[in-house]
Amino acid sequence: MSNVLVFFDELGEALSSAQKELIAQAGALGEVHIAVGAYTGDPTPALAIDGVQEVYLPEESLPAPEVAVVDLLETSVTESRAVVVLGSATADVTDALARLAVRLDTGLICGAAGISADLVVTKGELAGSYTTTSQLISATAPAAPLVVTFKPNNIDPQRVQTLVTRGEQPEVNVLPVRPSVGGVEILERTAMEVSARPPLTEARIVVAGGRGTDGDFTPLEELADELGAGLGASRAATDAGWIEHAAQVGQTGVTVSPQLYISAGISGAVHQRAGMQTAGTIVAINKDEDAQVFEIADFGVVGDLHEVIPQMIEELRRRKR
Amino acid sequence: MVNAPLHIITLVKWVPDAQLERRYNAEGRIDRSEGVLSELDEYPLEAALHIKEAAQDREVRVTALTMGPAGASTAAKKALQIGADDAYQLTDDALIGADIWATSVALKAAVETATGAAEFESGEPEYLVLTGMASEEGESGAVPAQLAERLGAHVVTYATALDLEAERLVVTRSGGTESQKVAVTMPAVVSVTDQANDPRYPNFKAIMAAKKKPLTRWTLADIDLRPEQVGAMVRVLRTDARPPRTAGEIITDEGDAGVKIVEFLVKERLL
Ligand SMILES: Cc1cc2nc3c(=O)[nH]c(=O)nc-3n(C[C@H](O)[C@H](O)[C@H](O)COP(=O)(O)OP(=O)(O)OC[C@H]3O[C@@H](n4cnc5c(N)ncnc54)[C@H](O)[C@@H]3O)c2cc1C
């Protein structure tokens, strides 16, 4: 079994489901070591997980875009003798791991879906229209570790639950790394609103609205709550300020791969499709029978969302009774 | 003191048109026989032009830099039409199949050669590299950080607003769970999102003016790199096309479509 280093750019009191999934990916490869960039208090209780051996922390918390995390990672790789480094495919983690790969003179694969024991990586490409399989070209042995970032939601959450179980507290190593001076200075930080609904990338069902909502997302919110779904939107809707930018699904928003995607009042432009076309099932509601979204919908309704959605909600409630 | 001149290098990529079918070829590489200037690279270009136009008391040059096959010259030319002052195109057979690692090695040398070649009237320039938030076909968004690491420059990714001040650039960005306002000093690499601005279209006058602007073509030798220095680190073993999505059942609402959707969901066991 090989050693794996998992990087969390920040760690709260509990692991997020994406972080649990990463541990599950790592656990299948070997002994798990974890490096944490930013933290408050003692992050170790959250990391008391079966299979997690060691945790590496900086002397002081290193919130992104702090570059000193790369020093932390470099040292953690040496200490853990990891053959592979894993992180989430988010902006801040990608920045840190991309720099790490330069320092280690090794290859980087971004946005992976899976990794096998012999470090062969699969990932979706060209907006999910292809799956590629790739690996490190290692001319010399021992090769530098492979660095990989993962998209969330590739392992069934229930499977993650069975794979990631409580264990003993890992050994903690505080490494001599402190925040860097100069360069990039954070002037202001604003936490993004966290909605009570399931996060988009993790939701099994996503209800998304576009310009066709005419600015009123209430029926979509109600439908999302009825279904326990995440709430998404097209860029037209986020640009108009009807809903926060974080809800944007698409090429320059989030990519979602839920079991069910309900698209309402969205034309289905290529940029939007890029973010949702790997959904298991697509249901579309659009007034225009020629809307592009109907080309990929498993079930399409040519109709007014303001009539169809309230009726859907009513029918869902009726069946629950 | 007069502000030092600023040399903005904007990376522009020639990519397969996302509106058309994009595919891998038999060698496991994206088919690059046709392409367009990546839409995502219009935002950094616009940001560069904004900075130049706003800098009254400062000499600013906007250089477009592209790396890609012969056809990529159209991306460089489009950048000149949109408003770049000059452009460079790096083309070399050794760069075919370049991964993130190899791309950043080549771009580092190209940025250094471009900044080294530029002459400014008002003194020694500082430089700033602007890039799109990600490439349209690779979608990794990892090149900005790798390039910065190699250049020894600072990096700020996913900028939604940029404001040049006397000795620093103030950038608003969206990180993972928060929005940040950060100040960065030059040299810096900043990736710019589609939230940052509305890119302009070149008008007839700009298209004519672009014909007179310099477009320099480089091979690896011109930027002092040998082919073995740009070998990829990652090899693609296979590519599998997903079956394309096809349209399913489409109905027209006759007053019962909401019920019909729920019935469909029940039938598909999605509830
Ligand atoms: C670089 C770039 C990146 C982009 N990234 C993204 C992205 O990440 N995500 C994204 O979504 N877009 C993105 N876009 C924008 C994208 O191209 C489309 O403009 C956008 O998706 C359109 O949103 P929409 O479908 O809601 O609006 P529209 O195109 O205006 O369509 C509205 C639809 O609603 C229907 N409609 C209207 N009223 C009703 C009603 N009462 N009931 C039912 N249907 C109704 C209409 O028939 C129409 O089809 C990007 C664009 C660019 C250039």
Amino acid A202: pLDDT: 85
Distance (Å, whole) CA A174 – CA A197: 36
A-B C-beta contacts closer than 8 Å: 267
B97/chain A closest Cα distance in angstroms: 13
Residue numbers in B near A101 (CB within 8 A): 100-101, 146, 233
Q: Pick the residue of B172, B189, B265 with the most A CBs within 10 A to test the interface with A by mutation.
A: B265
Residue numbers in B near A95 (CB within 8 A): 142, 144-145, 155, 157
- For A37, phi and psi rounded to 5 degrees? -85, -65
pLDDT tens by residue, B60-106: 999 999 999 999 999 999 999 999 999 999 999 999 999 999 999 99
pLDDT band at A143 (very low <50, low <70, confident <90, very high): confident
Residue A293 CA to ligand 1 centre (angstroms)? 10
Average pLDDT of span B40-58: 96
SS3 B105: helix
Break chain B down into helix, strand, coil percent, rounded to 5.
30, 30, 40
Indicate whether B197 pLDDT > 80: yes
> Which distant-in-sequence residues (6+ apart) come within 8 Å of B259 by Cβ?
A311, A312, A315
Amino acid B1: pLDDT: 47
Indicate whether A7 pLDDT > 50: yes
For chain B, percent of residues with pLDDT exceeding 70: 99
Give the C-alpha distances (Å, rounded to integers) separating A14 from A51, A139, A148, A235, A236: 17, 40, 23, 32, 35
Degrees to nearest 5, angle at CA B223 with B40 and B110: 20
The ipTM assigned to this model is: 0.96
Task: Give the position, in ligand 1's atom list, of the atom nearest the Cα of B194.
Answer: 1
Amino acid B50: pLDDT: 97
CB contact under 8 A, B142 and A98: yes
* B39 close to ligand 1 (CB < 6 Angstrom): yes
Residue numbers in A near B104 (CB within 8 A): 102
Task: Give the position, in ligand 1's atom list, of the atom nearest the Cα of A292.
Answer: 49
pLDDT tens by residue, B88-99: 999 999 999 999
Residue numbers in B near A9 (CB within 8 A): 176
Exposure class string for A211-238: b at 16+ Cβ within 10 A, else e: bbbeeebebbbbbbebbebbbbbbbbbb
CB contact under 8 A, A137 and B270: no
- Give the residue from B41, B115, B118 showing the smallest Cα distance to B74: B41
With contact defined as beta carbons under 8 Å apart, do B65 and B87 qualify? yes
- Give the residue from A190, A64, A187, A179 showing the smallest Cα distance to B165: A187
Radius of gyration of chain A, Cα coordinates, nearest whole angstrom: 21
pLDDT tens by residue, B177-196: 789 999 999 999 999 999 99
